[in-house]
Amino acid sequence: MKIAVTADGTTLSNVVTEEFATCKYLLIVDMETLNVVAVENPGDATGVILINEVIKQGCEAVITGALTSEAFELLVSACVTRYYGIGYAVKKALALMESYELKLIRNPEGTDKCEGTHH
């Protein structure tokens, strides 16, 4: 299983960023091996380019903060689960996700408040 995590650096010790579109890197983590592929953010203000990478890599979930409306809708359409992991080191956020301790992102603002039909 692959999980995408937005981070300020290229390693598991770096911190999950507050906003998907402004992250420095998107880390694609293979949960079986903990191998990391770091994708540098090309500077797309919508985050759509990185979302397409999440989908292309076959990631089952993304750990991040706020998403643009466009990025949120693409993730929802692709059935990618969204988790709120701001402030945690990537490795810690992954562990919290596995133990069901991270909140789900149910709206583009990055909160778990459900304001529509997106779960």
Encode pLDDT of 4-41 as tens digits. 999 999 999 999 999 999 999 999 999 999 999 999 99
Span 26-80, pLDDT tens digits: 999 999 999 999 999 998 889 999 999 999 999 999 999 999 999 999 999 999 9
- What is the distance between the alpha carbons of residues 25 and 117, in angstroms, rounded to a whole number? 29
Kindly report the CATH number assigned to the domain that includes residue 24. 3.30.420.130
pTM for the model: 0.90
Q: Is residue 111 assigned to a domain?
A: no
Distances in Å between the Cα of 4 and the Cα atoms of 64, 76, 81 are 9, 15, 10
Is the residue at 40 inside a domain?
A: yes
- Number of domains the chain contains: 1
List the domain range (segments joined by +) for residue 93: 2-104
